[in-house]
Amino acid sequence: MKFQDPCKCRCASCGIEAELPVSLLLAFAADCPGCGASFKEAGLRVRGMVEETATFFSAMKIMLRVEDHLGITITDELAKETCEEHELTLANLATLAMRASPSVSPALADDAIRSAVRIEFPGAPESPDFAAPLLEAIGKTPQFGVVSS
């Protein structure tokens, strides 16, 4: 995946191609220079990509710590399968650790995840929400600027 700034977007209403700053797209503040239609749809797509990338890298950081902590190896196939799930949570990562090795109990997995989050994301809540979307659970929800009216 490659980000381009400004980003080339085609207007869904009038069909012209516009080059728009990514910051405006992310803030839902971009309008079509041709017809004035909102580029919110494109903004949503870019936000989705940012969140997906941030989630993926955060999950990687946590799982590397968990592997270390538990002395297990998580295969690429298993990790890929879990990352392709729609919304990644700490609960998904705990399940991943348990699937990687039969010696990992739920309590052990939770403990390893908690410890990994504490080390990697000092700003995370003390008792992270295992069911929340990953970025929310670790207090890293991306900020995209002010939403235009």
Of the candidates 34, 48, 139, 145, which one interacts with Zn ion according to CB under 5 A?
34
135 phi/psi in degrees, rounded to 5: -65, -35
The verdict on 41 binding Zn ion (CB under 5 A) reads: no
* C-alpha span between 41 and 55 (Å, rounded): 21
Using the minimum distance from each CB to Zn ion, give the nearer residue, 32 or 135. 32
The verdict on 66 binding Zn ion (CB under 5 A) reads: no
Which residues in the 71-130 window bind Zn ion by CB under 5 A?
none
Q: Which two tokens stand for residue 62?
A: 């946590």
Using the minimum distance from each CB to Zn ion, give the nearer residue, 32 or 63. 32
What is the separation of C-alpha 69 from the centre of its chain, rounded to a whole number of angstroms?
A: 23
- The amino acid occupying position 6 is P
Residues lying near Zn ion in the complex (CB under 5 A) are found at: 11, 13-14, 32, 34-35, 37
